[in-house]
Chains A and B, each alone.
Chain A
Amino acid sequence: MNDIEQWLAERAPEAPSEALEQRMATLFDHHRRRGHGFRRPVPLWACAAACAAFLLLGFLLAPMAISPPPAAIETQSVVYILPGPPTPPLRNAFDWSQPAASGRGTGEGLQTLVVETFSESNTKDETI
């Protein structure tokens, strides 16, 4: 250290006053009591307004967010009516299942095939 450095060092300003010590202690203490540095830069009213707005928005959009329950898968039957071999004549001459009195001829030669399918579309009856 040369003479100028020595001269400057000898004229170093005194230590800070007791008032600064107290101010700094108050500053650090205040900062610690404020919650370990947690700061709330947004005003409280803005937080409350944002909460209310999003709450309202949630109520308005909630029905749209809920999807309808899936449609029940129903077992549907497709009835195919196929021509079949002639049926032998019934032993009972009177057939209650036929509107005609004779009961013969209208349903003869047809075979009914019922096929169960899983489909959401409307029921279709197809005749081949």
Chain B
Amino acid sequence: MANSVAEYLRMFYELHRKELFAYAAALTGNQAAAEDAIHEAFARMLARPELPREPRPYIFRCVRNAVIDEFRRSAREVEHAQAAAAPPGNGHAHLDLREALAVLNEEERDTITLKIYGGLTFSEISLLRETSLNTVASWYRRGLGKLRAHLEKET
């Protein structure tokens, strides 16, 4: 069983590493932190004897948890790295993604990054967030509205 878990995770990573990285990087705003979080999440999942029935939302949730842990572990380093890497936000095309996502609350940011970068459906996100489908759709619409308002204000 453990062998099948490892094989599934290896195949999942091969197929979805871009989505996983895009999601983790959008949350952290830092490439190194995102890669550390992905590595840590898969190391934790490999230690499990089995995966839940819906492994795809679960894997993304593990990555999100690893991102949160990574944030707590090296919060100062991440902030310094973001400050060093952040380009000036003086135009629509050059606005930093992280800066734009910062106007959202945690639920809206997570829903939008999971949907657009992770490629998850609303149904999968509702499983991941353990909430209803309508709530997830509401977070998504409200988040996009906030982003639009922020971008229009910046430009």
Interface residues of A (CB under 8 A from B): 2-5, 7-9, 11-17, 19-21, 23-24, 27-28, 31-32, 36-39
Contact = CB atoms under 8 A, between A and B. Distances in A.
The secondary structure that dominates the A interface is: helix
Given A5-B116, A8-B147, A28 B6 contact: yes
A31 B116 contact: no
Contacts of B1: 37
A15 B26 CA distance: 12
A15 B25 CA distance: 10
Given A15-B18, A38-B2, 11 more contacts: A5-B116, A8-B116, A12-B26, A13-B22, A13-B34, A16-B17, A16-B21, A16-B31, A27-B39, A36-B3, A39-B47
A19 B35 contact: yes
B123 to A, nearest CB: 18
A27 to B, nearest CB: 6
Interface of B: 1-3, 5-6, 9-10, 13, 17-18, 21-22, 25-26, 31, 34-35, 38-39, 42-43, 46-47, 49, 92, 97, 112, 116-117, 144, 147-148, 151
Q: Which of B26, B46, B49, B112 has the most CB of A within 10 A?
A: B46
Pairs A-B, 10 closest by C-beta atoms: A37-B2, A13-B25, A20-B35, A16-B21, A36-B3, A11-B97, A12-B22, A28-B10, A13-B22, A4-B144
